[in-house]
């Protein structure tokens, strides 16, 4: 309930009254905004009353008595309602993507849970309820590629090009996917099995004079407790041109940065 006051502003006489509400003040300054309420099912009932006013009237009165216009604001609310039911029914994992008929059945189950949890007047004010499909293996490969691309960019600034083979990506997926937590542990798996060993090798000078790091794992290699690691090989590849990517190892800064003009 206290967080509701933080959204619209503290009442007069309370600490923080002059600052305005975290929600109303930001929307007042930037009315063309996207506002995300994560896990909305955990919100206080007063938050739902506030959202009802926003969705019905397109405005909200802040602690100063000003009408804050929400007509150009997009509200997005996420929820995990019904996830346990789908997971218990085998909806998650590496199985083939469900048929449309089965997915429609999943949507029906979730809509019943939503109707059971939220008040009808709240549901009726929603423009749409979007049900996301469970992650499959192809989705997780895409996530691994996205996360390792960020690591690759950081390594290129240090003068190394990073490459992962498919068995290495499969290993990360095996270690980083959890049916209960989805793909969130993938980031920790990348940190544990790639970033930490890379850091140790860099500090020891193992990659000195090399410009390419290849991360591999033999296809079919066990991912059990006895061998929870990836293989790292540093080579000097003449085909790798880091200067073409805007980095000069000799200058140790982006090409052109700080260059003097005459």
Which residue has better confidence, 242 or 128? Answer: 128
Which residue has better confidence, 168 or 137? Answer: 168
pLDDT at 249 over 70: no
For residue 61, what is the DSSP state? Answer: E
Q: Which of 103-107, 124-128, 131-135, 218-222 has the lowest mean pLDDT?
A: 218-222
Average pLDDT over residues 55-61: 93
Q: What pLDDT score does 230 carry? A: 92
Question: CA–CA separation, 250 vs 232, rounded Å?
Answer: 25
Q: Which helix (H) or strand (E) holds 74?
A: strand 74-77
pLDDT at 96 over 90: no
75: nearest Cα among 121, 31, 15: 31
Which residue has better confidence, 27 or 240? Answer: 27
pLDDT at 122 over 50: yes
User: What mean pLDDT is reported for the chain?
Assistant: 81
pLDDT at 115 over 70: yes
202: nearest Cα among 256, 159, 145, 261: 159
Q: What pLDDT score does 166 carry? A: 92
pLDDT at 186 over 60: yes
Return the CATH fold of 137-254. Helicase, Ruva Protein; domain 3 (1.10.8)
pLDDT at 257 over 70: no
Q: Which residue has the tokens 């509701």?
A: 4
Q: What pLDDT score does 180 carry? A: 72
DSSP 137-190: HHHHHHHHHHHHHHHHHHHHHHT-EEEE-HHHHHHHHHHH-BTTTBTTHHHHHH
Question: CA–CA separation, 38 vs 182, rounded Å?
Answer: 16
Task: Kindly tell me the sign of the dihedral angle through the C-alpha atoms of 79, 81, 84, 85.
Answer: negative
pLDDT at 172 over 70: yes
pTM for this structure?
A: 0.67
Domain extents in the chain: 2-77, 83-123, 137-254
């Amino acid at each position: 309930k206290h967080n509701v006051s933080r959204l619209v502003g503290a009442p007069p006489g309370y600490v923080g009254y002059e600052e305005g509400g975290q929600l109303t003040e930001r929307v007042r300054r930037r009315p063309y905004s996207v506002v995300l309420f994560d896990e909305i099912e955990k919100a206080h009932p007063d938050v739902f009353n506030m959202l009802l006013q926003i969705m019905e009237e397109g405005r909200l009165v802040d602690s100063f008595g000003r009408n804050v216009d929400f007509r150009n604001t997009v509200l997005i609310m996420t929820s995990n309602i019904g996830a346990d039911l789908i997971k218990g029914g085998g909806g998650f994992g590496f199985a083939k993507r469900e048929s449309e008929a089965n997915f429609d059945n999943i949507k029906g189950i979730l809509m019943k849970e939503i109707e059971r949890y939220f008040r009808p007047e709240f549901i009726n004010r929603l423009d749409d309820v979007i049900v996301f499909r469970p992650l499959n293996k192809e989705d997780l490969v895409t996530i691994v590629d996205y996360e390792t691309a960020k690591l690759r960019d950081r390594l290129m600034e240090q003068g190394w090009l990073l490459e992962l083979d498919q068995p290495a990506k499969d290993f990360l997926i095996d270690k980083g996917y959890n049916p209960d937590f989805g793909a969130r542990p993938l980031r920790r798996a990348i940190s544990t099995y790639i970033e930490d060993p890379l850091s140790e090798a860099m500090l020891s000078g193992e990659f000195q004079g090399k410009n390419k790091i290849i991360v591999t794992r033999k296809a079919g290699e066990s991912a059990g407790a006895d061998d929870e690691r990836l293989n790292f090989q540093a080579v000097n590849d003449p085909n790798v041109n880091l200067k073409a990517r805007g980095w000069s190892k000799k200058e140790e800064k982006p090409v052109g940065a700080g260059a003097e003009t005459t």
